């Protein structure tokens, strides 16, 4: 997991971690843990988590020193990995991630933002009225930023980007020749939390939004940043107005998405895909390359390459039209 | 009907009321009427309205001195209640409500709004650039208000609220620990009017929006205030991005609503309900507690407690999946 | 095609046109061409285009001096009309339109916009904070413009218009007594381009948005301007929140459209039509007068006058309800 933007507050002693989880252990208390990562990318300086036997194979090979898991699942872990036994692995993982990355939980307005006229960008960028720039922003050559747009903390804009008016962008890496029209909110945290009775527990979103070269993002888009991975819009992909892209979604190259489409969390969409207006795509799906999804469709399962689908639930377009004469 | 925000221009003499409706009566002309209310909550200082025999039982017991109704319906009213006979009860009621509450008809921009730096809130609230505050606003402790946000007339914010950037809020009561993200419009009038050929007749919206403790409202939400009652979002309910909640809707506690969902006017949604992305709920429905509505569903009838539904029209999820293999 | 807003950079010599298209011709090189128009409205000073045999009849009668077309189609043209033979007529037409109207391709933020306080409108219009006005704007009597609203280049507002806050309007003609609520983007280019592998080719949008008397446009609307014709909202038509109207759409009078509806490009909707929430209408359709479309419907073919439809694909409402008991 690349993490260019959120500051890691580690290392933390294991004693601090177990205390946060209301656990007791007697050994390794003073060992320092530097980051929280998934099973595969962890090193022996990291803590990881295992919440489903689906990941047993990855668990067997993990290099992590510590793993948040359950009594039942812990048998899959290597002997040298210290298992921290909890009731709810994801809630506990969320708590520990929050200590490493406290900035990634809530998206309050950016208090570091200041008028672009009071920054060095004033000589480099073409900008409208009331443009604000937060900390840790970099902007390439020949960019335009429209009126009332907020470039909040943790944004990189490449060269030749045209950002319209009334946009809010944070935690986002924009490559070259990208056009973002008006009224978008890009890079806020996703709709991810653990429901609890009195006050839901938000989990951290330490991913970013990555918008590749030559993309166009229409008016009123919301593109949420990833939780543990990134949200990605591939090269030369065009989004029409009022589109919602949830956290961790990955969209390929040369894809065209019409107005009011919504893509739920963690779905992956291929290259050269065409999605008609108001179509919806459920979470955690894989949509292949060269797929065409008719407007208004509701996609609730994976779609192989080179397929045309329609309907709710979406099925082969010929079948749908035959069944709905 | 509690009405904390809209100023009542009453009392009005009955003679003024009948003149407005182009009626003629000979008695009671000088009696003063103080407010317009529904059949149940009216006192003998008020005017009410009866437009359907569905409400005959309430009509029989009303304490109102005057009632707008039709020749046919008036027989249900108590003898001491003066019946004003009109062709269209709702249009006439709208006209009279407009005289009592002239501010509630149109939502022009708030001319009373001024820079927060020119108000007493500047020492109490953490705020971004270009934040405006209208008349009759109160704000609790430890609140944040983001850049370009307009807190227009008639807003109460509780403690520990985080309001993002580019929001417009009016006629809204927000309790404690509420988070409103970016780009929302909350508290404007609903989509309610009487269609007429040359220029539609808007009816007044004298309700408010009430957002209870611990709620989160996603980016780009539109939540309209009520017409005669309030629009309510219950405790610890979370709304994702691009959601539309129409006038008079009441949502319970601990409910979770995913992106791009729309709820039409006057529907009531229970506690612990989960609604998937892009689902739509028609007006005047009752959705029970612990209901789950699959993404993309179109709900057009009431749903009892503890039910899972899917499809358009939404039906039991097992039936839907069986019929759509 | 009336074209009040986009400045025609013609006349162009034919030699310039053929060079742009990488063609070679030997005659007429120095003849000047003044505009690009469709087959019917062209005069002998204009260039036109023919991309389908559907238009052969119009082609036979065209008065244009030059026509972009293919080897196969050119036989339909009059002898005196010079045929420019290209591989892709629409791409070539797009390139030539771009030379005549270079301002119509990209919608960068309006650099001409200045604070209304620095314009003559300050004495005529009631306005909020941070209102900006671009070049070539005219505003009638008794208008209101809310906070942070951008009236960009090429806008005409009639009398008694109420424009809310946070709106962006450009290339739009608004008649009298129109109400535009908050957070809308009106008049930007449509979602029209030729997909190509590395970087899509946008085609010019030289149409405008025309909003007739007494309309109301809800919060969060996006109404795109036309490409070769205009996008039109008819008299006394009301739009609820979060509606998307694509380029070239024409909506009749006294029509009512509920929240989150989307209308795809070039569709025509009649008078007195009612469209329920979240319904979607595909492109290039004709919806008759007095049609009712139930909420959530997906319309994929023409609908005759006086019809009620429901479902996806939308069909007669009685049939739909019978089939979906």
Decide if A247 is catalytic: yes
Q: Residues B172-177: what's their mean pLDDT? A: 98
In this prediction, residue B200 has a pLDDT band, given cuts at 50, 70 and 90, of: very high
In this prediction, residue A196 has a pLDDT band, given cuts at 50, 70 and 90, of: confident
Nearest 10 degrees: CA dihedral of A56, A58, A59, A64? -170
Contact call for residues B139 and B244 (beta carbons, < 8 A): no
> Is residue B24 predicted with pLDDT exceeding 90?
no
* Short-list B143, B289, B298, CA closest to C314: B298
In this prediction, residue B128 has a pLDDT band, given cuts at 50, 70 and 90, of: very high
Q: Whose structure tokens read 């909202």?
A: C233
- Closest Cα in chain C to A145: C109
Q: In what order do the strands lie in the sheet with A209-211?
A: A137-139, A155-157, A172-174, A209-211, A231-233, A250-251, A268-269, A286-287
The percent of residues above 90 in pLDDT, for chain B, comes to 89
Q: Residues C199-217: what's their mean pLDDT? A: 95
Cis amide linkage into residue C91, ω under 30° from 0 = no
Please, which residues 133-152 of chain A have a Cβ atom closer than 8 Å to chain B?
A: 148, 150
Least CB-CB distance to C219: which of B150, B222, B278?
Answer: B222
CB–CB of A150 and B145 under 8 A? no
In this prediction, residue C46 has a pLDDT band, given cuts at 50, 70 and 90, of: very high
Cα–Cα distance for residue pair A164/A131, rounded to 1 Å: 11
Nearest 5°: phi and psi at A260?
A: 65, 15
Question: What sections of chain B are H helices per DSSP?
Answer: 14-20, 56-61, 89-100, 317-323
Q: Residues A95-116: what's their mean pLDDT? A: 93
Cα–Cα distance for residue pair C16/C24, rounded to 1 Å: 11
Side-chain half-sphere CA neighbours of B125 within 13 A: 31
Query: What rounded mean pLDDT belongs to chain A?
Result: 95
First-to-last C-alpha distance (Å) of chain A: 48
Query: What rounded mean pLDDT belongs to chain B?
Result: 95
**pLDDT number for residue C1:** 43
Tens of pLDDT along B253-267?
Answer: 999 999 999 999 999
Q: Residues B284-305: what's their mean pLDDT? A: 98
Q: Residues A69-81: what's their mean pLDDT? A: 96
Q: How far is CA A189 from CA A192, A228, B235, C305, in A?
A: 8, 11, 21, 47
> Is residue B77 predicted with pLDDT exceeding 50?
yes
Contacting residues for B311 by C-beta, under 8 A, at least 6 apart: A312, B294, B297, B298, B320, B324
In this prediction, residue C275 has a pLDDT band, given cuts at 50, 70 and 90, of: very high
Q: Residues C282-292: what's their mean pLDDT? A: 97
Positive or negative torsion for Cα C3, C7, C13, C15 = negative
The model scores a pTM over 0.80? yes
* Short-list B74, B62, B61, B64, CA closest to B31: B64
The ipTM (two decimal places) reads 0.93
Please, which residues 260-319 of chain A have a Cβ atom closer than 8 Å to chain B?
A: 260, 262, 264, 278, 280, 282, 298, 300, 312-313
**pLDDT number for residue B1:** 43
Side-chain half-sphere CA neighbours of B151 within 13 A: 30
> Is residue A307 predicted with pLDDT exceeding 90?
yes
> Is residue A5 predicted with pLDDT exceeding 90?
no
Q: Tokens at residue C235, please?
A: 């008299």
CB–CB of B185 and C259 under 8 A? no
C258 inside 8 A of chain B by CB: yes
The shares of helix, strand and coil residues in chain B, as percent rounded to the nearest 5, are: 15, 25, 60
DSSP, res C38: -
Contacts of C among chains (3+ CB pairs under 8 A): A, B
CB-based contacts of B239-242 (< 8 A; 24+ apart in sequence)? B239/B215, B240/A191, B240/A244, B240/A246, B240/B277, B241/A185, B241/A191, B241/A222, B241/A224, B241/A244, B241/B181, B242/A220, B242/A222, B242/A242, B242/A244, B242/A262, B242/B218, B242/C242
Contact call for residues A151 and A173 (beta carbons, < 8 A): no
- Taking contacts as CB-CB distances below 8 angstroms, the residues of chain A near B276 are 282
> Is residue C235 predicted with pLDDT exceeding 90?
yes
Q: Which of A142-146, A196-200, C71-75, C181-185 has the lowest mean pLDDT?
A: A196-200
Query: What rounded mean pLDDT belongs to chain C?
Result: 95
Cα–Cα distance for residue pair C307/C299, rounded to 1 Å: 13
Q: Residues C212-224: what's their mean pLDDT? A: 98
Q: Which helix (H) or strand (E) holds A319?
A: helix A317-323
* Short-list B302, B289, B295, B287, CA closest to B317: B295
The percent of residues above 90 in pLDDT, for chain C, comes to 89
Nearest 5°: phi and psi at B116?
A: -60, -25
C218 inside 8 A of chain B by CB: yes
| Separation in Å, CA of C197 to nearest CA in chain A | 6
C92 inside 8 A of chain B by CB: no
> Is residue A10 predicted with pLDDT exceeding 70?
yes
Cis amide linkage into residue B313, ω under 30° from 0 = yes
Contacting residues for B74 by C-beta, under 8 A, at least 6 apart: B50, B67, B83, B85
Q: Tokens at residue A69, please?
A: 């898991």
In degrees, rounded to 5, the angle at the alpha carbon of residue B271 between the alpha carbons of residues B268 and B275 is 75
CB-based contacts of B276-283 (< 8 A; 24+ apart in sequence)? B276/A282, B277/A244, B277/A262, B277/A264, B277/A280, B277/A282, B277/B240, B278/A262, B278/A278, B278/A280, B278/A298, B278/C278, B279/B314, B280/C260, B280/C277, B280/C278, B280/C295, B280/C296, B282/C276, B282/C277, B282/C295, B283/B246
CB–CB of C241 and B242 under 8 A? no
| Separation in Å, CA of C236 to nearest CA in chain B | 6
**pLDDT number for residue C3:** 66
Q: Tokens at residue B95, please?
A: 């006209």
Question: Which of the residues A295, A313, A322 would you substitute to probe the C interface, choosing the one with the greatest number of C C-beta atoms within 10 Å?
Answer: A295
CB–CB of C185 and A277 under 8 A? no
In this prediction, residue A3 has a pLDDT band, given cuts at 50, 70 and 90, of: low
Residues forming a β-bridge with C251? C233, C269
- Taking contacts as CB-CB distances below 8 angstroms, the residues of chain A near B279 are none
CB–CB of A199 and B236 under 8 A? yes
Contact call for residues A279 and A294 (beta carbons, < 8 A): yes
Count of Cβ atoms closer than 10 Å to residue A28 Cβ = 14
- Closest Cα in chain B to C164: B109
Tens of pLDDT along A41-56?
Answer: 899 999 999 999 999 9
Structural domains present in chain C: 12-104 (3.40.1390.10), 114-323 (2.160.10.10)
Q: Which of A238-242, A293-297, C27-31 has the lowest mean pLDDT?
A: C27-31
Tens of pLDDT along C83-123?
Answer: 999 999 999 999 999 999 988 888 999 999 999 999 999 99
**pLDDT number for residue A272:** 98
* Short-list B247, A153, B299, CA closest to C259: B247
Least CB-CB distance to B280: which of C220, C238, C277?
Answer: C277
Contact call for residues B284 and B300 (beta carbons, < 8 A): no
Contacting residues for C5 by C-beta, under 8 A, at least 6 apart: C136, C153, C154, C171, C208
Contact call for residues A183 and A205 (beta carbons, < 8 A): no
**pLDDT number for residue A1:** 43
């Amino acid at each position: 997991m690349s993490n260019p933007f959120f500051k890691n507050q580690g290392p933390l002693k294991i004693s601090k971690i177990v205390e946060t989880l209301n656990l007791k252990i007697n050994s390794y208390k003073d060992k320092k843990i530097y980051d929280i990562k998934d099973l595969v990318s962890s090193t022996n300086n990291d803590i990881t988590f295992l919440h489903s036997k689906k990941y047993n194979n990855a668990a067997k090979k993990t290099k992590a020193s510590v793993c948040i898991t359950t009594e039942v699942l812990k048998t899959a872990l290597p002997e040298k990995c210290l298992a921290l036994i909890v009731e709810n692995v994801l809630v506990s993982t969320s708590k520990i991630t929050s200590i490493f990355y406290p900035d990634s939980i809530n998206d309050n307005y950016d208090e570091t933002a200041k008028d672009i006229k009071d920054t060095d960008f004033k000589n480099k960028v073409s900008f409208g009225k009331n443009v604000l720039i937060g900390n840790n922003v970099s902007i390439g050559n020949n960019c335009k930023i429209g009126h009332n747009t907020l470039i909040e903390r943790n944004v990189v804009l490449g060269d030749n980007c045209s950002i319209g008016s009334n946009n809010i962008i944070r935690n986002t890496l924009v490559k070259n020749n990208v056009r973002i029209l008006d009224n978008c909110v890009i890079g806020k945290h996703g709709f991810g939390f653990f429901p609890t009775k009195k006050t839901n527990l938000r989990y951290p979103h330490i991913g970013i939004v990555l918008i590749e070269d030559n993309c166009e993002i229409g008016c009123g888009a919301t593109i949420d940043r990833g939780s543990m991975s990134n949200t990605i819009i591939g090269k030369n992909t065009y989004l029409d107005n009022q589109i919602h892209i949830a956290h961790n979604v990955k969209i390929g190259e040369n894809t065209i998405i019409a107005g009011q489409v919504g893509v739920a969390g963690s779905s992956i969409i291929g290259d050269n895909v065409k999605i008609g207006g108001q179509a919806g795509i459920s979470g955690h799906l894989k949509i292949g390359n060269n797929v065409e999804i008719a407007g208004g469709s509701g996609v609730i399962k994976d779609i192989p390459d080179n397929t045309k689908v329609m309907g709710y639930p979406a099925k082969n377009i010929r079948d749908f039209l035959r069944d709905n004469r």
